[in-house]
Amino acid sequence: MGRLLYIQLNPLRRKHIIVLGRTTAIPTTTLMILSFVLVFLSYSSFGPENQTVNAQATITSAGGDVNVLYAGSLISVMETKVGPAFNHLGYGYKGEGHGSIQDANMIKDGQRFPDVFISVGEQPITKLIDNRPSLAKWYLGFASDELVIAYSPKSHFAAEFEKVKTGSIPWYQVLAKPGIKFLRSDPLLDPKGCYTVIATKLAGILYHNSSLSPSVLKGERNQEQVRPEELLLTLLETGVADAIPAYKHEAIERGFPFISLPPQINLGYPAFAGYYKQASCTELNGSLNFGKPIVFDITIPNTVRNTEGAIQFVKFLFS
């Protein structure tokens, strides 16, 4: 899988995915897996009776609303690019974004009944798969990303972050300064919140500084820092936050300056998967969630009400 930073969707022609400013075709292996999944869906328990799906066929227009529950970090791309483009096929796109774990919890609790669920990392989807009764059967990774530190150019600490870019001071020193408003999502509700905890712990390992993570976060669920995932970019834009952890595609799309982190820390490189496993965040039940490369995953959960529309959405996303 390529290192896909953000999806550039065009309502008329969406044949490639942008990678660091270059275009690359979707890997053949991914398309083969997708074809298998789409054929499988046509025979699944929630699929339309006596209906088969030709995974190689051209996307067809139909109708009805398609409800997509997705990771809050995808709000911009989903609502300004993916949704409007999908509407051209004759469907009514209905999207909603929150922290992926929160999304999964709402599905489990019967608060949401999406046709499609997009999460960051497979864990929120595996929670649905492991649920009894099972609420999902499969998932497919379709894009990867990396963690950066986005900051406000209006912040009183903006000059400090510029010094970080020149190598004058380390990024974690700025984030630990008194008075800085470093806001992040709840690690129990959003994978990015967990990734933030893991990244600071990995930084402590890389820089041989055991006090690094505690000095920056002051606790995994420090309520002075924790805010809803879907609000973080707005809080940064309005100046409420001086800095936030962000996926690189978010910072690029919104035009925020950001600090890139080393590959040993940013969770964006499969080659460092073994290194990432050295750090973890704590789940609600006390179990540990160990670091791994950031991947966006998609599934059609068993809550689907518009099966054909859901299948077409998945095909659309990969076309």
Rounded Cα–Cα distance for residues 265 and 275 (Å): 9
Q: pLDDT by residue (tens digit) across 289-302?
A: 999 999 999 999 99
pLDDT(64) > 50: yes
Is the bond into 133 cis (omega within 30 degrees of 0)?
A: yes
Q: State how far the Cα of 160 lies from the Cα of 297, in Å rounded to an integer.
A: 36
Average pLDDT over residues 175-193: 96
pLDDT at position 163 over 70: yes
Spatial neighbors of 154 by CB under 8 A, at least 6 apart, are 239
For the cut 70, the answer to whether the pLDDT of residue 317 exceeds it is yes
* Span 70-98, average pLDDT: 94
Confidence of residue 142 (pLDDT cuts 50, 70, 90): confident
Average of pLDDT values for 173-202?
97
- Helix runs in 67-117, H state only: 75-77, 83-87, 100-108
Taking only the tens place, the pLDDT of each residue in 47-60 is: 333 223 333 334 44
Greater confidence (36 vs 208) lies with 208
pLDDT for the residue 62? 61
What is the pTM assigned to this prediction?
A: 0.79
In the chain, beta strands by DSSP E: 17-19, 22-24, 65-71, 92-98, 116-120, 140-144, 147-151, 243-247, 258-260, 280-282, 288-290, 295-299
The whole-number pLDDT of residue 17 equals 30
Confidence of residue 285 (pLDDT cuts 50, 70, 90): confident
CA distances from 65 to 5, 39, 55, 104, 312 (A): 28, 22, 21, 20, 12
Q: Calculate ∠ Cα 6-10-73, nearest 5°.
A: 30
> Which residue in the block uniquely carries the two structure tokens 């690019």?
81
Structural domains of the chain, with CATH: 17-55+64-144+295-318 (3.40.190.10), 147-290 (3.40.190.10)
